Amino acid sequence: MGRKYFGTDGVRGLANSHPMTAEMALRLGAAAGRYFRKDKKSHRVVIGKDTRRSSYMIEAALTAGFASTGMEVFLLGPVPTPAVGMLARSMRADVGVMISASHNPYHDNGIKFFGPDGYKLSDDAEIEIEKLVDGDIALAAPENIGRVQRIDDGLGRYMEFAKTAFPRRRLLDGMKVVIDCANGAAYKAAPTVLWELGAEVIPIGVSPNGFNINDGCGSTNTRTAAKAVIEHKADVGICLDGDADRVMIIDENGVVADGDQIMGLIAERWCDNGALAKDTLVATVMSNMGLEKHLSRRGITLLRTDVGDRHVVQAMRKGQFNLGGEQSGHIVMSDYVTTGDGLIAGLQFLNAMIESAKPASSLAHVFDPYPQLLENIRYTDKDPLETDNVKAAIADGENALRANGRLLIRKSGTEPLVRVMGECEDAGLLRRVVGDIVTAVRAAT
């Protein structure tokens, strides 16, 4: 059965437009509250958010919905997404909610749900909540309306937890670190953790105003941080996205390392130390073929999943693997966290620098990537992938790349976009193939 409201990462859309309205947030909160509150015992929900102005509106609506079904509501304020998963588990909550559209611009927003184990909800749970949204939701009696309270130490709990992912008694003394928080949820936590661990910190993207999240900064726009690394002669830069579940690393020369390079580094190090479960890294179909071939030479298996960190985590849990992620910068280390955590991944990289006594540039380039092209084509109501011309162009492209490359064409789960990705050792052939498919898709929109 398909899902009506939930996409690849919760419910997401344009703020104040369906389904990201206060009315829908109210019903989602009530539906989730009814789903999790199956008896008369006390049940808890923890709610975090990023720094978008619309997050405050959605927080209020969700709160009313949960309280109306008898849930006790604990408001965390602006916190990273991984903090919600961690706190849902540590505070014995039945459900955790993060209000964020992650790396999207301020005008988008989203609602992500976590279960009591700190992991994102299953497809089955989301489908059941959707059924409740569209039905008659049984409200609590007046005497059973849930209480609402703010939790002042939630962010502090997460910061102390993040520091436990760094070796005990090891410090970042003498290291100069640029941290770009994308004017998002980690604007307080990330610089504080790095400073408390001993680093000299150059913070940027730490002045949120409700509208500047991910605007010219963060993991999706690393130019500002790269410039700061060069200007301040920093040892390394760490770029987070709006909800801090993604990371990009910038070396001392201003060169960016994406999630594939970071995963490759961690996988190698953990494998060498006997810490990589079953010598396997879980990544998506978007990860570069160069990473797969490099790891294979090291005796490490790359297990691919569909796009989306929830698919990565599902495969990790099923196979009992402890490292996975995405090229986009989601790095999931299940020994520490239940979802992507940009800050903890960044700390792993800093620890590698200290233990190896090597500069960031020596660690951030683990493999030579295959030439890769990704084009995003926006469409309206008509699905261009269903047209005969587009199907023919894709078939021709697959035949052309069959010997030394691959194609991946899919629709985005969060935006009305067709994503055309290709990889090939022959860059010229790759440009021609991707260009032909993009032309066909645009003609069909």
Helix (H, G, I), strand (E, B) or coil at 358: coil
- Please give the Cα distance from 180 to 191 (Å, whole number): 9
Instruction: Using the CB atoms, write b or e for 227-241: b if 16+ within 10 Å.
Output: ebbeeeebbbbbbbb
299 phi/psi in degrees, rounded to 5: 80, 20
Are the CB atoms for 129 and 35 separated by under 8 Å? yes
Q: Computed over its alpha carbons, how large is the radius of gyration of the chain? A: 22
- Tell me the residue ranges of DSSP E strands in 258-379: 280-284, 301-305, 323-325, 331-333, 372-378
Q: Which of 102, 287, 328, 334 is catalytic?
A: 102
Q: Note whether 251 and 364 are within 8 A (CB).
A: yes
* Strand boundaries in 71-139, DSSP class E: 72-78, 95-99, 108-114
Instruction: Please give the Cα distance from 369 to 424 (Å, whole number).
Output: 10
Find all residues with CB under 8 Å of 264, minimum gap 6, and list them: 281, 291, 294, 295, 366, 367
Q: Is 334 a catalytic residue?
A: no
Distance of alpha carbon 184 from alpha carbon 309, whole angstroms:
20
d(CA 364, CA 394): 34
What is the H or E stretch that residue 247 is in?
A: strand 247-250
Give the residue among 362, 146, 335 at the shortest CA–CA distance from 236.
362
| Beta bridge mates, 12 | 110
Q: Would the CA dihedral through 302, 304, 309, 312 be positive or negative?
A: negative
Residue 320 Ramachandran class (φ > 0 left, ψ -120 to 50 alpha, else beta): left
For residues 274 and 216, the answer to whether their CB atoms sit within 8 Å is no
**Contact (Cβ atoms closer than 8 angstroms) between residue 234 and residue 180:** no
Neighbour count for residue 215 (Cβ, 10 Å): 15
User: Is the previous residue joined to 359 through a cis bond, with omega within 30 degrees of 0?
Assistant: no
Which residues are tagged catalytic? 102
